[in-house]
A and B are shown apart, each in its own frame.
Chain A
Amino acid sequence: MSSSDNTHPLVKWIDERLPVFTFLNHELRDYPTPRNLNYWWSFGSIAGIVLVIMILTGVMLAMQYTAHVDYAFDSVERIMRDVNYGWLLRYLHVNGGSMFFIVIYIHLFRGLYFGSYKSPREILWGLGVIIFLLMMATAFMGYVLPWGQMSFWGATVITNLFSAIPLVGDSIVSWLWGGYSIDNPTLQRFYALHYLFPFLIFAVVFLHLVALHVSKSNNPLGIEAEGPQDSIPFHPYYTAKDFFGFGVFFLVFMGFVFYAPDFFGEPDNYIPANPLATPPHIVPEWYFLPFYAILRAVPDIEVFGYILITAKLAGVILMFGSILILFFLPWLDFSKVRSARFRPIFKQFFWIFFVDCLVLGWVGANPPEGFFVVLGRIGTAFYFAYFIIIIPLIAYFEKPRPLPESISAAVLGGKKGEDS
């Protein structure tokens, strides 16, 4: 439609044979975007730039790192002390991981609040959940590579989760390990997969964007953009807005990199891995804490005095279930209204759910004793009740506020848009 802009003869010549310029114009310039997106919508592209930074720093680190139990820890220390700017690359990569999760969690809660998962964006949402799962796997394996105490014991605890699977559990665990314990074969395969997975993420992100560009962005009002008066071209309006978002984000990111590079880390991971001594308190990285709390929440499930499901298996099922349930959200929430702005009851429960996730994170960071056991169980119960009971009930009973006629009517107050 705007390939006519490509006037340069060489551009035209290439475009007629491989329409990259038409494609870029269509998807990044003219791409019609709702005119009312707020800054919560910047986090998708921020996540994109973080992925690029992670791959870039990761490739540079891979040139210096040695994936062997005898050398891994020392090679990381060498990166920190001897390699030119090695400290910078590593701190960018380490803190970039934490930033990635912060950004993705904001992106995810934005989707939950504004109902971005609803028809016709179910697959867009599902692809996002797949990206989240891949990210968790990548982050987990990456954390093992420095081969410190938390690397080793975190890996031990998480891989042992699979032994909860009835019958084949132990075979799966020794298959994952390539031995009888976490050892050199495990480290080497985690390194290989940690290098592979970001490219899988990249591929799914591409599909995520294809799906996005079919249904277009949701917006704070949660109503579809109907005509040209509801949309503005992506460039320059949202490129400018996104770049401003990048700037603010980089201030925070670099603040950690330069002033508190070990803020998110565990001191124990600066002790080389020792298979014969468990640290007194194993905690996963902060971004896994709510799921860790869910893992530890359930007791044995007994029926007439017989243990039907052991605490271990039940914990594993719930932990994976807590993420898999997100796939079903578009159908659990069958309310036609997307945005929480027009859903008074949903809005309140959304914030309770948000606090519940923070509480679960707090529980996950503490030893499973006394008060925290009770709190973890209540938090877990609410987490699942929110999706399975509360959301469908709200969808059924809630009377949403009246929706505005159109995006332009709501944001321009009846005035005509400049470019309509």
Chain B
Amino acid sequence: MTAKAQDTGAAGDDETRRDFLLLTTGVVGAAGAALSAWPFIDSMNPAADVLALSTTEVDLSPVEAGQSITVVWRGKPVFIRHRSEQEITAARAVDLSTLRDPVPDEDREIKPQWLVVVGICPHLGCIPLGQKPGQPRGEWGGWFCPCHGSQFDTSGRIRKGPSPTNLVVPPYQFTEDTSIRIG
């Protein structure tokens, strides 16, 4: 009787032990397999040479009030607009509670006359119109995205259409009075 009980006990222990080993090896194996996927996935992320793309220096002195220029930074267009007094006033007179992405105009530039924004619609990545004379600028005199009809004001803020956010202000600083470094 006792011997029999010991037997089954031993067998039971053995089974639990085997189950445990099977489970732990299984888990370790699965974790290893999952981790080994990372190099494959990460190889698709931006490579070092892409990451090393330099900053962009822009001389603003030839740009008259009311004019705009487009420069390329990290493969993307950046809109720089020399805003007129009128445009600045229009951008600052807005009631913030009416905006989808409420940011005061003062927080979107270093010097009020220079607005610098990434020229890519935050909706689906099209390039809004309004940089060249004669292009539609939308109801708020900023930019108009031809793809899905987003309209931006003279501060690059979304006013109408599907874009969830304002045009992005890239990191930049003034190196001189009329020249900036983006990035």
Contact = CB atoms under 8 A, between A and B. Distances in A.
A181 B74 contact: yes
A161 B124 contact: yes
Given A174-B45, A307-B100, A179 B75 contact: yes
B131 to A, nearest CB: 10
A313 B123 CA distance: 10
A42 interface: no
A161 B164 CA distance: 12
B165 to A, nearest CB: 9
B128 to A, nearest CB: 8
A80 interface: no
A368 B50 contact: no
B127 interface: yes
A312 B123 contact: yes
Interface size class of B (residues with CB under 8 A): 20 to 34
Interface in A181-200: 181, 183, 185, 189
A157 B147 contact: yes
A296 interface: yes
Interface in A127-161: 153, 156-161
A129 to B, nearest CB: 25
Nearest to A369: B149
B125 A180 contact: no
A368 B44 CA distance: 34
Nearest to B136: A280
A: interface residue count bin: 35 or more
Nearest to A373: B149
B146 interface: yes
Given A181-B76, A315-B162, A156 B124 contact: yes
Contacts of A185: 46-47, 50
B126 interface: yes
Contacts of A1: none
A185 B47 CA distance: 9
A310 B147 contact: no
Contacts of A6: none
B77 interface: yes
Contact of A296 (B74, B75, B148): B148
Interface in A319-372: 367-369
Nearest to A176: B44
A248 interface: no
Contact of A179 (B50, B100, B149, B162): B50
B169 interface: no
A275 B46 CA distance: 18
A277 interface: yes
Interface in B66-125: 70, 72, 74-77, 100, 123-125
A307 B148 CA distance: 19
A174 B46 contact: yes
A311 interface: yes
Contact of A281 (B72, B146, B162): B146
Interface string B149-183: 10000000000001110000000000000000000
A54 B125 CA distance: 31
A368 B74 contact: no
B46 A276 contact: no
A205 B127 CA distance: 40
11 contacts: A157-B126, A175-B41, A178-B50, A181-B76, A185-B46, A275-B75, A276-B70, A276-B77, A282-B126, A282-B146, A312-B124
The 8 closest A-B pairs by CB, nearest first: A160-B125, A310-B164, A181-B75, A160-B124, A278-B127, A157-B124, A156-B125, A311-B162
Interface of A: 153, 156-161, 164, 174-181, 183, 185, 189, 275-282, 296, 299-300, 307, 310-313, 315, 367-369
